[in-house]
Amino acid sequence: MTIRRILIANRGEIAARIIRTCRHLGIETVLAASEADRDSVPARLADRTVCIGPSRPSESYLRVGTIVQAALAVRAEAIHPGYGFLSERAALAKASEEHGVVFIGPTAEQIESVGDKLRARAAAQAAGVPVVPGGAVGSVEEAVSLARRVGFPLLVKAVGGGGGRGMKRVERAQDLPQALQLAESEAGAAFGDARVYLERFVTRGRHVEVQVLGDGLGHVIHLGERDCSVQRRYQKLIEETPAPRLPQPLRKRLHEAAVRFAAGMAYRGAGTVEFLVDLERDAFYFLEMNARIQVEHPVTEAVTGIDLVAEQIAVAAGEGLRIGQSEVTWRGHAIECRVNAEDPARDFQPSPGLARAVRWPAGEGIRVDTHIEAGARIPTFYDSLMAKIIAHGADREEALERLWQAIASTRIGGMTTNLAFHSTVLANREFQAGGVDTGFLARLLAQAPMSVEARFG
C-alpha cells in the first residue's frame, strides 16, 4: 500500500526525527500533541498538529482511543508511535488494525510476546538462545527455593516492564521477602502487572544489544550491535557501535542469536534484542527484546548509512526488507550521549524549566537530534531528554575526540544539564580504554571528589 500521511503519536526529539524522514520521503505528517506541546519544535515542523488532550500523558499520549480517532479524523493511513508512551502497548497496535490504520511497528501479538519477560525467555530458549539462570515465582517460598539454586546476588524483575522499575538487587536470603514485596508493588503501579521473576545477577557484565529488521514473514537481518553499558539505575546514558573490545567470535554469535530469536516469531519492523555479556564466564544471555525503535538508533544509522525510520515505514507499507544481509556494511565508529535536563550533583534530579540560550554543536561527523531551541520549555510532565549528540569517526578514538569537542561547544543557558557529567565520563581512562561493564558508572559516581582525568592522549 501507499502511505501518504502519518500520524506521529509522540513528542520531543523522536517526533522531530520521524518528521525529518517523512519529509525526505514526501510523506505528510500530522503531530498528535498534548496541550504542553502545541507550540513545540515538532509542532512547527509537522505539516499539521492536532491536540489530543491535556499535558499529563495519562490524558493524552497514553490514550489509545484518542490516538486512533485522531488518525481517522485526519485520514492518516498509518500511526508511528516512536518510543516510550504507547510504542510497546499491544492495545494501540490492535486498535489501529481494527480501524484499518497501519501500525508502524510489530504486530500486537509480537508486542505482547516480548513485553511479557517470561514469554520472551521461553521464546529465547525455544530459539536456542541462552537465558540468565532464573525463573518465575508465585510466592515467597518459591522464591526462596529458586534463589537457593540460582545463588546470590540475584535480581527480582518485573514480568511486564523494564527501565529499572520493579527491579531489585538482592544480596542475602533474608532480604528476599522485602525485595519481592517492593518489586511487586512497583511493577503493579507502573505496568498494571505485579508478577515478578528471579534472575542471577551477573557481577561483571556488559549490556550489548543487536539491531534487527524483519519483514514479518520470517526474513530478518541485523545491523550490528550497540554497547549500552554506561547506565545509571538501568537507564542508558552513552551508547556506541561497534561494541569496543568485543571478541569477533562472540560478536558473531550475538548477531546470529538475535536474528534467530526474531526470525522465530516472524518479527515485523525494527527491533532490538538485548543481551548481557558475562565477562567472568565468557558467555552471553538474552535479556529482552524492545519491539520499537530505540533512543540510541542514530549510532547504527551513522555506521551503516541506513535510515531506520525509513525502513520501518517501508516494512509497514508492505515493501518487505529492501536490504539483504550481504548488503549491510559498517563504516567507522559512532558514540551517542543523551543530554538530559537533570542535576548530577543532586542525584540526577530532573531540572525542568526554560532554555534561555541554546547552541548545539556542528561539524564533520556530528549529528544532533533535538527538539530544544532558545525559548523552549522543558515541562515537568515528561522525560528529561533534551537531545542526543552523536559523533561518528573513522575509528573510536576519532569519534571520542569529536564527541568531546561537540559537548565542549554546546551551550544551554537557564537550566541545569548533564553535559559536564558526560565530559567527565568521556575523559575517564577506563571508559577511554573501552569495554566497561554495567557497574562502571556506579564506581565513577562513588569517587569523591569525582574528578575529570587527563584527556585523550
Residue pair 212/271 in contact (Cβ under 8 Å)? The answer is yes
Which of 121, 292, 338, 367 does the annotation list as catalytic? 292
The three-class DSSP label of residue 212 is strand
Residue by residue, DSSP assigns 27-54 as -EEEEEE-GGGTTSHHHHHSSEEEE-S-
* 140 closest CA partner among 186, 181, 168: 181
Burial of 1: CB neighbours in 10 Å, binned 0-12, 13-18, 19+: exposed
Cell 505528510 found at: 28
> What span, in angstroms and rounded, lies between the C-alpha atoms of 391 and 80?
26
Instruction: Tell how many helices (H) and how many strands (E) occur in the chain.
Output: 15, 23
Residue pair 292/87 in contact (Cβ under 8 Å)? The answer is yes
Based on the residue annotation, tell me whether 377 is a catalytic residue of this protein: no
Length of the chain: 457
> What span, in angstroms and rounded, lies between the C-alpha atoms of 44 and 25?
18
Residue 433: which H helix or E strand, with range?
Answer: helix 429-433
Residue pair 218/273 in contact (Cβ under 8 Å)? The answer is no
Residue pair 452/431 in contact (Cβ under 8 Å)? The answer is no
C-alpha 22 chain-centroid distance: 21
Query: What region does 230 belong to: left with phi over 0, alpha with psi -120 to 50, or beta?
Result: beta
Count CA within 13 A, CB hemisphere, residue 91: 9
Residue 381 neighbours by CB under 8 Å, 6+ apart: 34, 36, 55, 56, 57
Q: Count the neighbouring beta carbons within 10 Å of the beta carbon of residue 391.
A: 29
Residue pair 334/392 in contact (Cβ under 8 Å)? The answer is yes
Residue pair 198/204 in contact (Cβ under 8 Å)? The answer is no
Measured in Å, how far apart are the chain's first and last C-alpha atoms? 54
Reply yes or no: is the peptide bond before residue 153 cis, omega within 30 of 0.
Answer: yes
Active site residues: 292
